[in-house]
A and B are shown apart, each in its own frame.
Chain A
């Protein structure tokens, strides 16, 4: 799904690339046909995790953090969770679609809460100030 949207995925953990290889071969390739299609990055010393604020110094691991980076190299979205809760992939996809839509309109349109592809966007400008209630109802979410 992310590939269809033209998004390149990189996964990062403090495991070595050798462990990534074995995990892919012995387990993940049995859950994902053909194995993991994206690069699995090794961050043994936690330099990457520290730079992104997700390195847990006590545990020596990177906690779950997801960063959406646009074609200009700017971080547009981030989500960081403590270890026991996993992410929801559909929400990631929705955010990619929303940010790609914003970029396609060069910022002329904004995505209200709960926006999904096909739903109403907001045309940003002086005329919209104080008038959001006329064009968008929270129940539309």
Chain B
């Protein structure tokens, strides 16, 4: 996986594959547009996001892992206790 160039913006990921927003309506796009709610038995929402792995900063894309089992684990924060 290619190393990722580092900028100063707050690092975050983006959900992929959402419905494209019609250009003429960009003024009042409801926030829910990016809501792709995860359900069992349904496709996992794809995303691309920056990550740290083995000493490098990389970009991770979920759909690049098709063909493999993936365990996606969310947790509240680094340096917390549980």
**Residues on A facing B (Cβ under 8 Å):** 2, 5-24, 27, 35, 37-54, 59, 61-78, 83-86, 92, 96, 100
Q: Is the beta-carbon distance between A42 and B12 smaller than 8 angstroms?
A: yes
Chain B residues contacting A78 (CB-CB under 8 Å) are 38, 40
Q: Is the beta-carbon distance between A73 and B44 smaller than 8 angstroms?
A: yes
Q: Is the beta-carbon distance between A43 and B66 smaller than 8 angstroms?
A: no
CB distance from B36 to the nearest CB of A (A): 5
Q: Is the beta-carbon distance between A39 and B36 smaller than 8 angstroms?
A: no
Contact of B74 among A24, A63, A74 (CB under 8 A): A63
Chain A residues contacting B47 (CB-CB under 8 Å) are 47-48, 51
B11-38 vs A: 1/0 string, CB under 8 Å? Answer: 1111100000000000000000011111
Classify the secondary structure of A's interface with B: mixed
Chain B residues contacting A5 (CB-CB under 8 Å) are 69
Residue in chain B with minimal CB distance to A65: B74
Residue in chain B with minimal CB distance to A87: B73
Given contacts A21-B55, A44-B12, 8 further A-B pairs with CB under 8 A are A8-B70, A10-B73, A13-B78, A20-B78, A52-B37, A67-B44, A75-B40, A86-B82
Contacts known (A45-B12, A48-B15, A48-B47); A6 close to B68, Cβ less than 8 A: yes
Report the separation of the CA atoms of residues A37 and B54 in the bound assembly, to the nearest whole angstrom: 7
Q: Is the beta-carbon distance between B82 and A75 smaller than 8 angstroms?
A: no
Contacts known (A15-B78, A45-B12, A52-B45); A10 close to B72, Cβ less than 8 A: yes
Report the separation of the CA atoms of residues A73 and B53 in the bound assembly, to the nearest whole angstrom: 22
Report the separation of the CA atoms of residues A63 and B73 in the bound assembly, to the nearest whole angstrom: 10
Contact of A61 among B46, B76, B82 (CB under 8 A): B76
Contacts known (A5-B69, A10-B60); A53 close to B37, Cβ less than 8 A: yes
Contact of B38 among A35, A75, A85 (CB under 8 A): A75
